[in-house]
Amino acid sequence: MIGLEDRQTLALHIATAQGAGARRHLACATAGITVRTLQRWQTSQGLVAGDRRPAAVRPVPAHALSPAERAEVLRVANEPRFAALPPARIVPMLADEGVYVASESTFARVLREHGQATHRGRAKAPRSVRPPTTHIATAPRQVWCWDMTYLPAAVAGRWFFLYLILDLYSRKIVGWEVHDTDDADHATHLVHRTALAEGIAAMTTKPVLHGDNGATLKATTVLAMLYWLGIKPSYSRPRVSDDNAYAEALFRTAKYRPEFPTHGFADLNAARAWAATFVRWYNCDHRHSGIRYVSPEQRHAGEDHAILAARHALYTEARTRNPGRWSRHTRNWTPIGAVTLNPERDSLVNMTSPPQQNQPLAA
């Protein structure tokens, strides 16, 4: 709907354009109206009185609800048995009783006119899924991920429980335990022991510990220990497995190792012995693809920069000896900068990582 002042302005501009030699239909198209609209304004006092549609008196439809019928719709919808139900449930229930008051859309319209169109009942209205929390680690001991997985026993139906804490930046397993029961006390002890081993008490900024929504990791004793240590807990969204992708990938690596017993562990000691061997291999011998194929222990200790610089020097020398074998750059041995858990957008990573760590080294 175009107001009176806007109509007069458009008509004046169109007349000016016509006086300058412009075609009327082209001038109207530029103004955003049709020639028929301009003609209606000029012949029906549209440029003097404006749009008279809002003030028009419209007859009430013959089939419209009477005030008594509207009051009856509102009364029925607010009966105790219907007070927590939407119109989609009220209308069928009335139909089963042989009663017809109004249609479902009429119930909804009357309730909306009286401000009762909000979510009816005690249940909360549906909400969109919240975005995952983004955590960025630029050094060791800033962000930890932890989780628990099942280790099969040789006896069918029995399981052992492997608890792991992973440093997000270095991928090092900084804490682990294996137990024959799933108990919050085990998780509490693991967090306490890991914090002591990593020297968290002497740090000004404590790490963030990210886990899933399991009952064990969210128990009161665990939260009390985290609060006492100054570690901030973080949790994945419900029923979303990839919010803790690093821990899930670590468990997959563990269970697909050749020495993992496919028929289960004989006892708890066997499970703990395997876990100790795996953690030692993963931290010290495993060349992790996500950190330029250095070991998590080397990156955790800050040795990865020197190692990758030596590799870059080696490749540069090899290219100098045989330049014809290299069509472009040598292999990228740039140290990995910031590591993100559930990144919201790439700009967060670029703002955190130093520029030189995001550029590949060229020979």
Could you say which of 288, 313, 345 is where a domain stops?
288
Residues 150 and 238 in one domain: yes
- CA triple 330-333-334, angle to 5 deg: 120
Assess whether 151 and 39 both reside in one domain.
Answer: no
Q: Is residue 27 part of a domain?
A: yes
Instruction: Decide: helix, strand or coil at residue 276.
Output: helix
> Does residue 184 sit within a domain?
yes
Could you tell me if residue 218 is inside a domain? Answer: yes
Tell me: do 158 and 274 sit in the same domain: yes
Residue pLDDT tens, the chain, 363 long: 788 888 888 889 999 999 999 999 999 999 888 999 888 888 887 788 888 777 778 888 888 888 999 999 999 999 999 888 889 889 999 999 999 998 889 999 999 998 887 776 666 766 766 676 788 899 999 999 999 999 999 999 999 999 999 999 999 999 999 999 999 999 999 999 999 999 999 999 999 999 988 888 889 999 999 999 999 998 887 666 667 889 999 999 999 999 999 899 999 999 999 999 999 999 999 999 999 999 999 999 999 999 999 999 999 999 998 888 888 888 899 999 999 887 665 555 555 555 544 433 332
- Number of domains comprising the chain: 4
| Whole-structure pTM value | 0.63
Looking at the domain assignment, is residue 247 inside a domain? yes
Confirm whether 189 is domain-assigned: yes
180 within some domain = yes
What backbone phi and psi angles, to 5 degrees, belong to 147? -165, 170
How far is CA 284 from each of CA 39, 147, 194, 309, 363, rounded to the nearest angstrom?
A: 85, 21, 18, 19, 29
Q: Which tens digits make up the pLDDT trace of 324-338?
A: 888 888 889 999 999
Check whether residue 179 and residue 272 sit in a common domain. Answer: yes
Nearest residue to 44 via CA among 55, 56, 35, 52: 52
Let me know if residue 363 belongs to a domain: no
Q: Domain range for residue 102? A: 67-113
Q: Is residue 74 part of a domain?
A: yes
Six-digit token string for 320: 């100098």
